[in-house]
Amino acid sequence: MVIFSPRNRPTFIVLIFLFLSFLFFLYNLRQPQKSFFLEQAVFSFLSQIQKATNSFFSLPLNIWKNYIFLVNTKKQNQLLKKEIKRLQKEVLSLREMALANTRLRKLLGFKKGSPLNLVTAQVVGVDASLYFKSIIIDKGLRHGIKKDLAVISPDGVVGRILKAMDSFSVVLLLFDQNFALDAMVQRTRSRGIVEGTGDSLCKLKYVLDSENIRCGDVVLTSGMEGVFPKGIMIGEIVSVNRDEGSLFQNITIRPNCDFRKLEEVFVVLGRKK
């Protein structure tokens, strides 16, 4: 018969067990005190079956709930990531504005307190020439700029105008090998010529061997060549060597200006009237 087939056998066994349990329940109503232990066992077994049945039918529902939860969590994470990126951009923008504001306040204070007639210019590029260490600024002939004018920053000497066009100019930097500037050591007032080495340092030449020069001495413009005003910071002496039989010392200077971070400079047109 179909009902006794192996496929239906578990169901048939459960039905028989339920039927016997029902008969036992009716018998228990007549003699409750004699069947207490057996009753407990039957009801314990039935409760386990009910628990297993509930777990079986609730499993798909729990899986679906967990899936919906994961989908919602993923959407929330995506929204949070977008918001984090937006806030990071906003923070970077505000930080850049704050830095620019601090830098411009410093420039404004320097220009206002200087006795020099200065033109503020932005650095807009680096000259790709193989022969010169130079930068390009956004001011030129129309702003009163011409060749050989001094270029400075609040930190000190930057260079001089190598070439001036209508709306931009090329600045030869202090450490270029073609750059030369009359200078003096602040502490001893010893004079010499600052020349670039091409590798971010400079040499202070023609300082007599008898002069008391030390590492850490500050070197300033002397104002003697007529281009750079007197007293502008050039740099600090980082090495002093004396060659036997030589009249002059070998002196190396580290420029005070950080050329890698230049964003704005001043071109000196002359002194204020």
Specify the higher pLDDT residue, 237 or 111.
Answer: 237
3-state secondary structure of 151: strand
* Choice between 229 and 4, residue whose per-residue pLDDT is larger: 229
Answer left, alpha or beta for residue 168, where phi above 0 means left and psi between -120 and 50 means alpha. Answer: beta
With 0-12 / 13-18 / 19 or more C-beta atoms within 10 angstroms meaning exposed / middle / buried, residue 218 is middle
Compute the C-alpha angle 205/211/217, nearest 5°: 75
Q: 117-271 has which fold? A: Thrombin, subunit H (2.40.10)
Greater confidence (83 vs 214) lies with: 214
From CA 31, how far away is CA 24, in angstroms rounded?
10
Q: Is the pLDDT assigned to residue 160 strictly greater than 90?
A: yes
Query: What pLDDT is attached to residue 10?
Result: 57
Return the pLDDT at 199: 86
**pTM greater than 0.85 (yes/no):** no
Per-residue pLDDT, 116: 84
Pair 174, 250: CB distance under 8 Å = no
Beta bridge partners of 222: none
Pairing mode, strands 218-221 and 233-242 = antiparallel
Tell how strand 134-137 and strand 150-153 pair up. unpaired
List pLDDT tens digits, range 121-143. Answer: 999 998 766 677 899 999 999 99
**Cβ atoms of 215 and 237 closer than 8 Å:** yes
Check whether 217 has a pLDDT greater than 70. Answer: yes
Hey, what are 20's tokens?
């016997």
